[in-house]
Structures are given as structure tokens and as C-alpha cells.
Structure 1
Amino acid sequence: MPHIDCYFATMSPYTYLCGLRPAEIARKHGATITYKPLDIMALFARTGGVPPKDRHPNRQAYRLQDLERRARVAGLPLNVKPAFWPTNPAPSSFAIIAAQNTGADVGGLVHAITRACWAEDRDISQDDVIRACLESEGFDPALVDRDMMTSADTYAQNLEHAVLAGAFGAPFFITDTDARFWGEDRLTDLDMHLSGKI
């Protein structure tokens, strides 16, 4: 059975623009998927990336245009300058880890949390927002406070695993055969790879 590790950041717009497609691709190919939230700024620092605010103005301007185009392609609403960004991604990441540890599929939860930031102007660092996202996806809202030390350890480990596996941005998909796909716009390539077409 194929496996996909999905390294992502809850404050990443491109993670949001993936929608539910990673889970759909995994199901299509009978693959398992593990969602691995991480500290994207720490990943940038470790792998030569630059936070958006520190990029050259040309790159910043292109990013805004690209986000608008990718949102249209994905058919998803997007505020390119959300009210609560950047924000602390750890609390929402911990909740996703706790939910995944129940054995449930968390693809919908990842999308709900990123949508809250990028389409609904909600602060995903706040417990009430995270609880609402958990509840909307059928999870116990109390997961926001459950096993926080375990989740914090996993969150830190995800960063280390990402660096060792070759990831440098988000979302980043790595298969069990070490095929690597960076970005929402490479989901079609991931699908084709799992189909044996590329």
C-alpha cells in the first residue's frame, strides 16, 4: 500500500488551496496519508528559505498574483491579506496532531483550519476557533487541550523529519518511494506518479 507524508503549515495559503485533494488522491490510489504539521518559518531557516515579509518586492508581488490565480483554479475563496496572519500556528497544529492520534482522517480538519485563516478571517491561534473547526469536522472540541506535550513533541519531530526527508516548503508531499512534490500545484503530478504515469 503506498504511503504519503504531507508536511504542511496551518498558516500556509498553499496548504489551504489544496482543499481536500490530498485525501482524495490518497483514497483513489489506496494510499495512506499522514499529515505532519510543522513550523514553516523554522523550516525556511533550516533549508535556505526566506519568510514572505523578507522577500524581494518582486517576489512578494508575484506571490499575491499567484495566490489569486491558484485560488481561481482551485475554486476556493481566498483573502490574500487575511486579518490574522501571520499568527502562531502551534495551537492549531497540536489539535490536528491530537485528532490524527485518534486514528481518524484529518484531511477535512486541516482544510477547515486553513480555511478559517485564509477565507474566513479567523485567528487560528485561538482555542475557540480551533474548537469550532474540530466540531465542524466531527471531532471532540476538547482535543484542543488533549495530550499537548505529546503533540508538541510530534510537532518538533515533524520539523526534523521534514529536513531529513528533503522538504523545504509547504505543502510538501513525499511518498514511501521518496518521490517528492512541493506545492499545491504539484498535486496533479503526485496523482500521476501514483498512477504510474510519471
Structure 2
Amino acid sequence: MSTSIRVVLVDDHAVVRAGLAQFLTASGDIEVVGTASDGAQAVAVVSETRPDVVLMDLQMPGTDGVEATRAICRDVPGTDVLVLTSFSDSERIHGALDAGAVGYLLKDADPDDVLAGIRAVSRGESPLHPKAARALLGRRAEVRPTLTVRETEVLGLLQAGLSNKQIATRLGISDRTVKAHLGSVFARIGVQDRTQAALWAERHGL
């Protein structure tokens, strides 16, 4: 007999929690092991029950779904968060996925899509509503500004830990030119200092 997918439901509306619990339990392969009405309660319930998947609403009183997701992903390894919300704006999508959610669905989805999403997460996949996928693709385009070859070289050496003087020596240019390149890089990628620039380069595989 196959093992059930253990799920915790998080939503501030009792009728939503009850309806989801009934529907998911009837599926036969999903076991609802806990529910929560806000983010703080969600973290406590998930820490106690250690489910496979958390079905997480975002807008709730007190600790919201994004903060709860961040805490769960940090403190409860092995549990994945799948967002189920009414909101499709880019800010919430980015916030939830940056916090560690592995999928993002909207409440107007067909019930079978929610079932499929939970099963997909249990298989290690990342189900995304088309609006969430578009938001991610849009951000990907935005966060990869075009750098010149020289700017890319300078940023790569900065990431490697070289000082401005060492970069200048390595590239055969003056310290002043290095500073000029870095100023241009900082402006293009939207950071304020060397540390932020190095982190940006690491995140974007430079």
C-alpha cells in the first residue's frame, strides 16, 4: 500500500480549511495531519507534525504566509510549502517563492488542479499557476541587465575577493578605471556596495 501524502492546511477562514480537508481526504492518497489559521500557528503545527506538504494561504492576521513559509523552510527540513492564495500580483509571488515556497496556485483553480499540485510537490516538482510563471520569467528578464565584457570581468574578480588594486593589476588598467567600471556595474545591477555586488554575481552565476 502506498504511503499517504501528509498535508497541513493553513488558511484564516475556517470554512476554507474544512472544505479543503474534506476534499483532500476523500482523494484517498492525502492525509490532512493538521490545520492552522495564521502564520504563527502554522509554524507551530508544522514543527510538531512534520508534514510532507503545507498548503499555505498568504494574507492572514499576525504572521503572514510569506513569513511563515520562510520560518518553515528554514526550521523544518523535508517539508515543502505550496501556496494557495487569491493574490496573483508579482510582489506576493516573488515574496513567497523567495521565502522558499516550491509552488504557487490560485484559489480559482479547479479542485483537481490543487490535488495535482500537492502530488507534484510530493514528487519534487514545482507547480506554478501561469500568472506565477509569467511573473518569474518577467523578473528573470529584469534582473539580468547587460554588462560589457570588461564590466563582467571586473565583477567576476570582485566576486573572487580581489581588491580594486589587484583587479587593476590583473587587467592592466588603472585603479581609477576599475572604480569607474564598478560604479557603472553597481548602477546597472541596482546595488550599493561591493558586498551586494558579489552576492548578486553569485546568485546570477557570474
TM-score category (smaller protein):
under 0.3
TM-score by length of 2: 0.26
Larger relative contact order, structure 1 or 2 (CA cutoff 8 Å, min sep 6): 1
Larger radius of gyration: 2
TM-score normalized with structure 1 length? 0.26
